[in-house]
Amino acid sequence: MPETTPSTAHQFETLSQQRDADIAGMWIFLATEVMFFGGLIMCYTFARYSYPQVFEAASHRLYVGYGGTNTAILLCSSFTMALAVRAAQMGDRKWLLRLLMATIGLGLAFLTVKGFEYHTDYVEHLVPRLDFRWEGGESPHAELFFWLYFTLTGLHALHVTIGICVLGTMAILAGRGRIGEIPVEIAGLYWHFVDIVWVFLFPLLYLVGHRS
């Protein structure tokens, strides 16, 4: 039984109009995010096209263990998020709360793994401008790869963090029984998008060329 009856904002005539507008609005926002990340992908495309060998060598310095684990974590979190939205739609407050917490937990796990990974990268002198060392010539080009790696994954991690904050707020409201279905659905769309970005980043950054 839903415990909240969402009210219609004054500019809308009906609740379903509001729902449609909110969801379409989030989709437009996601389209803008595609273009935002897309600009960096343009830089990546140029750099990889220009320096294919160095890119491959640099990519192989990243650990598939970290990247693969993180991809699996995010895919799981998308699963729990989709189920959370379903729980909200069915008015199941208990499961909504549990699934939101699960998604948040997986998000935090992602960030934790990322943190360990960044530390490893730093220790191995792969952070541009911070005691960066590259054997094998074309050091500035390798540095370009790592700049793209840190900027892309850093921007992505920022989006994950924002998502966690939003979901956290929703979990608190859900705990008090004061959240409707629409905000959860919209947050879900955002979260899935963040997952999709990583689904592309993983092969682009970790699996350039082939590893032996």
Q: Which of residues 100-139 bind another protein (CB under 8 A)?
A: 128-129, 132, 137-139
Q: Which tokens sit at 31? A: 């389209």
Distance between CA atoms of 184 and 131, rounded to whole angstroms? 44
Q: How far is CA 11 from CA 3, 6, 7, 14, in A?
A: 24, 15, 12, 9
Q: Which stretch binds another protein (CB under 8 A): 75-83, 107-115, 116-124, 162-170?
A: 75-83
Q: Which stretch binds another protein (CB under 8 A): 31-39, 104-112, 117-125, 160-168?
A: 31-39
Q: How far is the CB of 57 from another protein (least distance, A)?
A: 14
Q: What DSSP designation does 137 have?
A: S
Q: How far is the CB of 85 from another protein (least distance, A)?
A: 8
Distance between CA atoms of 80 and 184, rounded to whole angstroms? 12
Of 144, 160, 164, 179, the one binding another protein by CB under 8 A: 144
Of 66, 108, 141, 168, the one binding another protein by CB under 8 A: 141
Does 172 engage in binding with another protein (CB under 8 A)? no
Does 89 engage in binding with another protein (CB under 8 A)? yes
Burial of 148 (0-12, 13-18, 19+ CB in 10 A): buried
Q: At what angle do helices 64-89 and 181-206 cross, to 10 degrees?
A: 160
Q: How far is the CB of 40 from another protein (least distance, A)?
A: 6
Sequence-distant (6+) residues with CB within 8 A of 53 are none
Does 188 engage in binding with another protein (CB under 8 A)? yes
Letters for 33-72 (x = contact with another protein by CB under 8 A, - = none) are: xxxxxxxxxxx-xxx-xxx------------x---x--xx
Q: Which tokens sit at 99? A: 């699934």
